[in-house]
Chain A
Amino acid sequence: MAAVDVPGILTIDGVPLKAKLARADRTRKLRALGLVLPLFAFILLTFLIPLAVMTFKSVKNDETFGRLDRTKEALADWDQQTIPGEAAFAALAQDLQDAQKMRQAGEIAKRVNYEFAGAQSKFKAIARKVEKMQAGPYKEVFVATDKVWSDIRLWRIIHSASQRFTSYYWLSALDLREGADGIERAPADQAVFVDVYGRTFWIGGIVTILTLILGFPVAYLLATQPVHRASILMIFVMLPFWTSLLVRTTAWFVLLRTEGPLNDLAELIVGMRFDMIFTRFGTILAMTHIQLPFTLLPIYSVMKTIPPSHIRAARSLGAGPFHAFWRVYYPQTVPGIAAGCLLTFILSLGYYITPALVGGPRDQMVSYYISYYMNNVINFGQASALGATLLIITMVLYWLYNRLVGIDNMKLG
């Protein structure tokens, strides 16, 4: 409507028609935006900004920055190769005295301990010792208390922890660390995350493929059967879809147990029981069950739009049943397959509850480790870095989904 271009025509109050139309157009746009604004503001404030804050947390030294300022200054032109001088020791002693008064020494000790195993107890011991000291020389006391204080690696970590920003959590999320000569691989006992990401993708991929193999034929059945029969069969798909995730996970927990019904059946048939609960097999089985409707329904809704006459036409033109299906029917279902599989893959990457309840320790995915660092060991920086990496991966896939499928085509039930 804004494209109307009639020069010279004025409205009754003397304004050019074009300007008047543009104004009306703008008002309508603003009114439409105004309707979306409350929800948008809500999501911005309680979701997008917190996500940004969380991501930011993964590069900050919240526990130590501002609490080691004297040390930071004393180490400003340290060569990082030799044990620092008395000035640095004195500065650290004073910082620790303050921290001890404010009851923050524990947090500093914990932060340094992430990068230097065992530093926590050394820090606490020295903090208690220097608390009573009035004057130096501090260096002798430090080194006499524990030889760890002459370790250059520890001082490098103290130096980097006194800065505002850190790359530690991100490097650690990628199984790397800052070494003497640049970035290096983390030692094998700490390098767990690349394996966890690999496992997350692997489980997500297997679940996606399984849901496609199981879901595609059923979608075809539902789309080609007469309406009354299809709507009865649909109950089999929709009831699990509407049932609580916890209920379905509980069901699998009960089914997979060594004394459970599945194993009773196995004993009856092959005469032995299998380990199914707390295994990768059980995790994948339960996740496939939960995700199956998510893959199946988009395929089904695409198949519903394909006229059955296409297959009949292909057959009448001489194509065999397989040929007709593969060359005429299947290509038309590809958008549905893409939509369903992508959705299932994205959702699978974030699984936490199901692996936590029916999986073993080697089947836990990224989400489990985020929760572990958040709630069990209270290492917010590491939780945030892992969260941010998973968030980026999810966003890339979501963008792909938008490009390929389009958010408007997302259907529920």
Chain B
Amino acid sequence: MLPLLGLPPYASTMERAWRLFFFVFCGAVLLFLISPILIVIPISFNDTSFLSFPQGNWSLRWYEEFFQSERWNQAIKNSIIIAFFSTILSTTLGTIAALGLSRPYFPARALIMAVLISPMIVPVVITAAAVYFFYANPLGIGDEPLFVLNNTHLGVIMAHTLLATPFVVITVTATLTGFDQSMIRAGASLGATPTTVFRRVILPLISPGVISGALFAFVTSWDEVVLVLFIGGTDQRTLPRQMFSGIREMISPTITAAATVLVAVAVLMLLVVELLRRRSERLRGIRT
């Protein structure tokens, strides 16, 4: 007799066997999801220059290489600078736009929303090609452009902002769907200026959505490599860009050390998002 596995007592043997298969299948899929990410971690502690599991020879040499070599350091620095500024820009633009979109009387909402989300849908290579042509002569006048944005930090930040804003728009509008618009009027009727209403009433309520949107924006820029390949020069090499050439040109276990550090960053992000989700649920719970 097979165990019940959460089924009611009247379940047939066939049903129980099927249930068992279902659990094993799901377990295998979950393993498939997580194991590739976990497998690079032990490899990164290997002290030989092969991409294999350490056999007693544990070492931190690839972490030393990652944190101390000029190339990787520059890449870390670039990634942080570019991700930081694109997060600020996209969160600001996206949140303001989401506030407008959530007003009940917004005209042509579906169409405008579709346009604002489109940078997320269009394949990045196409965006990169289009942005490359645009950056070669941003003002579009004359054969000799006054300035170019290719191979500049500003250019990469602008392009990453473009890719990241849809995530902010989606998360903030999702938070605002449950938002009671009469709160704004209540604040105003009590004498608050629109800025005060925004700062003291709206922002605290939508902050979980804004922060998780900002995290999405950060991760988008932090992970992005195609745009950097197209429009960035050697001075704009970011971590993913460095990993890309790391795999393509010189395969060294440093890429596994870099991958492990990035997995740690992802775990951190996941924790923050989870905490925010709980906080948001609590806030909503209080309101209703």
**A-to-B contact residues, CB < 8 Å:** 1, 25, 28-29, 31-36, 38-40, 42-43, 46-51, 53-54, 57, 214-215, 217-218, 221, 233, 235-240, 242-255, 257, 259-261, 289, 292-293, 321, 346, 349-350, 352-353, 357, 367, 370-371, 374-375, 380, 383-384, 387, 390-391, 394, 398, 401-402, 406-408, 410-413
Contacting residues, chain B, for A36 (C-beta < 8 A): 96-97, 100-101, 106, 112, 116
Q: Name 15 interchain pairs, CB-CB below 8 A, sorted by A.
A: A29-B105, A31-B100, A43-B115, A43-B162, A46-B158, A47-B131, A48-B115, A214-B32, A236-B34, A242-B219, A242-B269, A244-B223, A292-B29, A292-B33, A407-B117
Contact with A along B147-174 (1 / 0, CB 8 A): 0000000000011011001010111011
Collect the chain A residues with CB atoms within 8 Å of residue B53's CB.
261
Say if the beta carbon of B123 comes within 8 Å of chain A.
yes
Choose among A221, A370, A394 the residue that contacts B129 (Cβ–Cβ < 8 A). Answer: A370
Dominant secondary structure of chain A at its interface with chain B: helix
Residue of A nearest to B119 (CB): A47
Cβ-defined contact, A39 with B125, below 8 A: no
Residue of A nearest to B173 (CB): A408
B110 touches A407 (CB 8 A): yes
Q: How far is the CB of B21 from chain A (nearest CB, A)?
A: 10
Most buried by B among A33, A251, A257, A259: A251
Please determine whether B126 and A38 come into contact, CB atoms closer than 8 angstroms: no
Q: Which residues of B contact A (CB under 8 A)?
A: 11, 15, 18, 22-23, 25-26, 29-30, 32-34, 36-37, 39-40, 43, 50-53, 93-94, 96-97, 99-101, 103, 105-107, 110, 112-119, 121-134, 140, 158-159, 161-162, 165, 167, 169-171, 173-174, 212, 216, 219, 222-223, 225-226, 229-230, 239-240, 243-244, 247-248, 255-256, 259, 262-263, 266-267, 269-270, 273
Asked if B130 and A233 make an inter-chain contact with CB atoms under 8 angstroms apart, the answer reads no
Residues of B within 8 A of A242 (CB): 219, 266-267, 269-270, 273
Known: A370-B129, A412-B167. A252 touches B36 (CB 8 A): yes
Q: How far is the CB of B99 from chain A (nearest CB, A)?
A: 5
Please name all residues of chain A whose beta carbon is closer than 8 Å to the beta carbon of B171 when the two chains form the complex: 412
How far does the alpha carbon of A402 sit from the alpha carbon of B111 in the complex, in Å? 10
Partner of B22, one of A221, A239, A245, A394: A221
Q: Which residues of A contact B174 (CB under 8 A)?
A: 411
Q: Is the CB of B125 within 8 A of A367?
A: yes
Contacts of A251 in B (CB 8 A): 36-37, 39-40, 259
A390 in contact with B216 (CB, 8 Å):
no
Indicate if the CB atoms of A57 and B110 lie closer than 8 Å: no
Residues of B within 8 A of A249 (CB): 247
Of residues B53, B110, B128, B140, which shows the largest number of chain A Cβ atoms within 10 Å of its Cβ? B128
Q: How far is the CB of B277 from chain A (nearest CB, A)?
A: 8
Specify which chain A residues have a CB less than 8 angstroms from the CB of B32 in the assembled complex.
Answer: 214, 289
Residues of chain B contacted by A407 (CB below 8 angstroms): 110, 113-114, 117
Chain B residues in 8 Å Cβ range of A246: 223, 225, 239-240, 243-244, 259, 262
Q: Which residues of B contact A47 (CB under 8 A)?
A: 118-119, 127, 130-131, 162
How far is the CB of A56 from the nearest CB of chain B, in Å? Answer: 10
